[in-house]
Structure 1
């Protein structure tokens, strides 16, 4: 009696894991690696037939080429007839023993499994497109039945080697990466499917399983199509693990043929024929092979695997619950007036932005300049030093100036410097101010973009509580700054054009520099005259000295006549 209670309690573990899986599929997180059975196999190896045999219904899409293009999370839930919990909400279907439900359509109940197939095809085209490509986003399907055991399996796209049709060239790498992302989960059981009419040593599914599970502790092999082996051969060595040993075992099954599917042969009849074939062909191994034995084995393996993983899962879930409760509490109470709350958030963000520019922010940076201080630095230090470093006559040689003067005077030699030449050369130098001015605008724009992120710390509480609103505010402000940048550049270009349009020679700075040049010129002229004056008196004293000494006679009255 105690053993039955223990088994019943372990059976309850799978539905609990299914609920967790639904939650994580809904919120889109893979922070917890749940125990599950992952079906891996080459294209057309019989994966779909194995899954349909486990369910007892034909519900998976079939066709040529790659059909399974999205991971399909299949949750089998045993629902006995006396258990009406899941059927009380189904009006008019109280006596239905099997039904299905998709996670993306929780309000619809599927009692016709042809509709289930069509929905899988429709959702696959929606997620992966119609060009035979694949998608990593899973399709979650629950099947309630009185004929199944509690089980969770993930059906993955079949392994291919050559792209077909509109498939991308790297379809093989895409499928392999998708498969490895599931089977590398240490809590997953790998169900490697291989066909018996191919050499077991060349099985692609076992190759990938060994890559993710080198020790083989969580790999179970399934050999399909036992009835299609060449005449005179059998799979005894393969099923006994003499060819490729697998720790969890190797189970052989017989699939429905394509003719059986076209003739609508029921899965129940196919399982009976499978049992008869195994009893006839492999009498000593019949009890440890076949679809019913595979279902029980998978159920047992999954229950024990969940039991082994449960302590770690429980700890991880408790930690996540604590973390999310803290985040939930930080969001505060429910918002009653959304318009008022939105206006308050926008106002607070605008105030924080202005405070960062004006330097009145509560969180003042001490490690670097930011906000208005950095804008001031850009104007006075970066831009100012760049203007000072520009030499007004840089790029103008004496030959250039002389050539410009001669070109402005035409056939007449120049007596004075023409004003046309002066304006031409000055405008050429003024244009050099445009590039550093535009660079200054760009630096200020970058800083104003940085302020958006910096002032986010001022509204940290609102940012955590309403992340989408905060993202929208940042996007609006960023777009506003981006729209004003061309206008600002245009204004700077217009200012330079204004300076080029009229050279104001009456400007005080112009007169100040002119006076300095004139004073410098007058000083040089005075110095030159002084030098000449100093040279002339040197001869006069020497003559007077000679006369005084009697060496020369002063000129007489008649000397002028001579």
Structure 2
């Protein structure tokens, strides 16, 4: 199982290294392990112990002045004498087998950029190390946090801020595992490494603590609480290590010997020997790093693949927008010009029509795609404020009555003139003029803005061409706008100055002088017309006069009829002529007397009427109209109805005219006129001249696209790379962590009996916090033999010693719960 796990790890590490080799880290963050800590905290010594080779620079003060990225590649042992070598990324042609030379090269590369006077620079050195003793890991050693600049050095007074910011830049990426190195002989609460880790990883989900210098702690003091995650909690816990001292290095003590001494130290220590072996030793640290990185890479690879594909899509869209390189041939330049003008005009049309065009997604923003909807909205809102509003709402009955009287002139009253209607309706029709041309201006402005945005985006690679196309487009737009304005002016003049309609509703409701709703019956119509109409009207004016006149005329008519009847149709006898003359004289005398009576009555009626009129006009309390309310209301209804008819015609016709004579004509003429004006050899040379920044941008994008395609190829070479089965490993690892938290509680009760109550509360709080943070803990409880042994970490002797130790401890999980309790008894 261990062999299978490390084979899977090698596959994943190889993929990440290949992605780094092709330069993907410039565009996408890749999984890595960053080592942070204060100056002289032992970071470099920890790294050398993990690698198993002595190769890093040493000295007083700050030694690591450039980030160093180590790519560790474990190789299988064979009969070859070559067990390990190194290759710098900047010069892959040279293979370093002497690691003293590697140390010198690191110093040389550091001095070249950071200077020889202890300067610090953020430009990493990339070193590939192949060895039979190193694990498959990728680590970055960062300059230590420095509080005070060295005297007579290139370090500035803000050296602490610079080193902190550099560390934060590297570890803030969620895909980075933090290896926080802190010395055991210093207060954990003041550790710079933990402070930085807590800032970017507040839950401690991707931070591994490494406690160094445990062997240098004061007598009577130990780091057991630190190792058991009892003081400052980290999700991945802490591991204690013992590095070589300065004296050991001077004596020439090797890494292998140092690892043996480290194991002996922990196993013979009265406190540490009671702890699980996974909490101490470089072998345990390397094993933990390997497994954490394996799980980390496996979980992140799908996200990396998705991000690569997304960037490829975005770059392709940008390259499509920039277009290909400008051809040198004149015919191809002409084709390019025609293609770009065609794209410009088609996108302009499709945007207005709301037609789907994938090019719109590349060149045009979402708000601009709605340009057609904006034009439609302008048309829909045109004269919307007059809909449902009566035109005569501001006119009183007196205004209408005065207008009728004004236009009667000296003609017979009761027959309103058409001039009255025109006088009353024209002021309201004139209100339409402003909104009509305002609508034209709004649509024209929308088209102008759209052409500007399309020209700027589609033709941005050719600024001069974009400027010329935009200028010509504006010229065509202005010309068609003026033509449309003339058409609209004529249309509005006709609508407002010539009153006519064939509207059926108007003709039915208002086409006759008497409203059909007021007709009670058609019976006796001729009689009313011959005798009743004027009689009825005059009756209202002078009922007494009309009645008298009617009686007299009726009597006179009857008398005359009787005379004619008695005369036999006009054949009178001579004998009766005298009597007839007498009768006629008497009749005419009666008529004269009746006429005198009527004249007197009429004079009296006129006098009374004059008094009534004077009283009406002199009245201060109430003003009366000459025409009755029913007649005025009919005029009002006709005015409102006709205004609504004109309003409907204008709201329908004006958008059609603007849409056809402006928008449609602009679309039809734009492409031909642009191409005709710009298609000349001299203009082609001037207009199709790309600026340098466009050429540079295309070059950068093509290079980036090439890297992303290579990265995508790396991930697709092995389709199953992202589905490597780590369930068993993850379950055991998570289960061990959970068991570790549970057993720490029991262990602390026995080891700190004097402070049992307080300690128990602290551990209980921690266990609860840890359980909440890690809800995906597995329920599998499979035990793994020799869990702390990695074939890629230590030599055969160390492996044997570790195996024997595990056998004595029952080869259980991390916590070794039974063993701890047994030792305590």
**TM above 0.5, one fold?**
yes
Task: Give, in angstroms, the shift of residue 326 of structure 1.
Answer: 6.7
Q: Whole-Å Cα distance in 2 between the matches of residues 354 and 240 of structure 1?
A: 70
Select the residue among 364, 380, 384 that pairs with 2:471: 364
Partner of 1:200: 188
Partner of 2:305: 314
Q: Whole-Å Cα distance in 1 between the matches of residues 699 and 28 of structure 2?
A: 29
Partner of 1:34: 30
Partner of 1:277: 265
Alignment check: 8 A CA contact 1:41 1:158 kept: yes
Q: Deviations over 1:58-86 (max 9, x none)?
A: 1111111111111111111111135x9xx
Partner of 1:450: none
Task: Give, in angstroms, the shift of residue 179 of structure 1.
Answer: 0.4
SS of the equivalent of 1:271 reads: helix
Task: Give, in angstroms, the shift of residue 324 of structure 1.
Answer: 5.1
Residues 1:253 and 2:241 are matched in the alignment: yes
CA spacing shift, 1:263–1:205, aligned 2, 3 Å:
same
Alignment check: 8 A CA contact 1:36 1:152 kept: yes
Q: Whole-Å Cα distance in 1 between the matches of residues 687 and 143 of structure 2?
A: 46
Q: What TM-score, normalized to structure 2?
A: 0.40
Partner of 2:99: 113
Partner of 1:68: 64
Alignment check: 8 A CA contact 2:319 2:698 kept: no
Alignment check: 8 A CA contact 2:465 2:688 kept: no
SS of the equivalent of 1:251 reads: strand
CA spacing shift, 1:355–1:95, aligned 2, 3 Å:
same
Structure 1 residue runs without a partner (length 5+): 85-93, 338-351, 369-454, 471-562
**Counterpart mapping for 1:419-438 below 5 A:** none
Task: Give, in angstroms, the shift of residue 248 of structure 1.
Answer: 0.5
SS of the equivalent of 1:283 reads: helix
Alignment check: 8 A CA contact 1:275 1:286 kept: no
Residues 1:267 and 2:255 are matched in the alignment: yes
Partner of 2:378: none
Task: Give, in angstroms, the shift of residue 234 of structure 1.
Answer: 1.2
Alignment check: 8 A CA contact 1:74 1:143 kept: yes
Alignment check: 8 A CA contact 2:51 2:72 kept: yes
**Counterpart mapping for 1:543-554 below 5 A:** none
Task: Give, in angstroms, the shift of residue 192 of structure 1.
Answer: 0.5
Alignment check: 8 A CA contact 2:135 2:290 kept: yes
Partner of 1:123: 109
Q: Whole-Å Cα distance in 2 between the matches of residues 141 and 224 of structure 1?
A: 24
Task: Give, in angstroms, the shift of residue 459 of structure 1.
Answer: 3.6
SS of the equivalent of 2:66 reads: coil
Select the residue among 39, 46, 69 that pairs with 2:42: 46
Q: Whole-Å Cα distance in 2 between the matches of residues 117 and 161 of structure 1?
A: 26
Alignment check: 8 A CA contact 1:197 1:228 kept: yes
**Counterpart mapping for 1:115-514 below 5 A:** 115-165=101-151, 166=153, 167-281=155-269, 282-285=272-275, 287-288=277-278, 289-323=280-314, 361-364=468-471, 458-460=688-690, 464-466=694-696
Q: Whole-Å Cα distance in 2 between the matches of residues 151 and 57 of structure 1?
A: 14
Q: Whole-Å Cα distance in 2 between the matches of residues 284 and 251 of structure 1?
A: 15
Q: What TM-score, normalized to structure 1?
A: 0.58
Q: Whole-Å Cα distance in 1 between the matches of residues 699 and 286 of structure 2?
A: 50
Task: Give, in angstroms, the shift of residue 15 of structure 1.
Answer: 1.6
Q: Whole-Å Cα distance in 2 between the matches of residues 318 and 20 of structure 1?
A: 14
Q: Whole-Å Cα distance in 1 between the matches of residues 56 and 101 of structure 2?
A: 10
CA spacing shift, 1:158–1:14, aligned 2, 3 Å:
same
Alignment check: 8 A CA contact 2:185 2:213 kept: yes
Task: Give, in angstroms, the shift of residue 8 of structure 1.
Answer: 2.4
Q: Whole-Å Cα distance in 2 between the matches of residues 75 and 457 of structure 1?
A: 51
Q: Deviations over 1:121-171 (max 9, x none)?
A: 111111222232211111111100111110011100001111112211111
CA spacing shift, 1:4–1:55, aligned 2, 3 Å:
closer
Alignment check: 8 A CA contact 1:221 1:249 kept: yes
Q: Whole-Å Cα distance in 1 between the matches of residues 316 and 54 of structure 2?
A: 43
CA spacing shift, 1:7–1:147, aligned 2, 3 Å:
closer
SS of the equivalent of 1:37 reads: strand
Alignment check: 8 A CA contact 1:97 1:146 kept: yes
SS of the equivalent of 2:156 reads: coil
Residues 1:77 and 2:73 are matched in the alignment: yes
Q: Whole-Å Cα distance in 1 between the matches of residues 187 and 312 of structure 2?
A: 49
Q: Whole-Å Cα distance in 1 between the matches of residues 686 and 43 of structure 2?
A: 52
Partner of 1:23: 22
Q: Whole-Å Cα distance in 2 between the matches of residues 187 and 23 of structure 1?
A: 19
Task: Give, in angstroms, the shift of residue 321 of structure 1.
Answer: 3.9
RMSD over aligned Cα, in angstroms?
3.6
Q: Whole-Å Cα distance in 2 between the matches of residues 354 and 329 of structure 1?
A: 20
Q: Deviations over 1:470-511 (max 9, x none)?
A: 9xxxxxxxxxxxxxxxxxxxxxxxxxxxxxxxxxxxxxxxxx
SS of the equivalent of 1:20 reads: helix
Q: Whole-Å Cα distance in 1 between the matches of residues 96 and 264 of structure 2?
A: 33
Alignment check: 8 A CA contact 2:204 2:233 kept: no
CA spacing shift, 1:273–1:355, aligned 2, 3 Å:
closer
Q: Whole-Å Cα distance in 1 between the matches of residues 127 and 37 of structure 2?
A: 20
Alignment check: 8 A CA contact 2:66 2:123 kept: yes
Q: Which has the higher helix share?
A: 2
How many pairs are equivalent?
Answer: 358
Alignment check: 8 A CA contact 1:279 1:286 kept: no
Partner of 1:426: none
Q: Whole-Å Cα distance in 1 between the matches of residues 159 and 261 of structure 2?
A: 37
Partner of 2:645: none
Q: Whole-Å Cα distance in 1 between the matches of residues 210 and 129 of structure 2?
A: 22
Q: Whole-Å Cα distance in 2 between the matches of residues 240 and 354 of structure 1?
A: 70
Task: Give, in angstroms, the shift of residue 333 of structure 1.
Answer: 9.3
Structure 2 residue runs without a partner (length 5+): 329-461, 476-684, 701-825
Alignment check: 8 A CA contact 1:133 1:171 kept: no
Q: Whole-Å Cα distance in 2 between the matches of residues 331 and 4 of structure 1?
A: 51
SS of the equivalent of 1:232 reads: coil
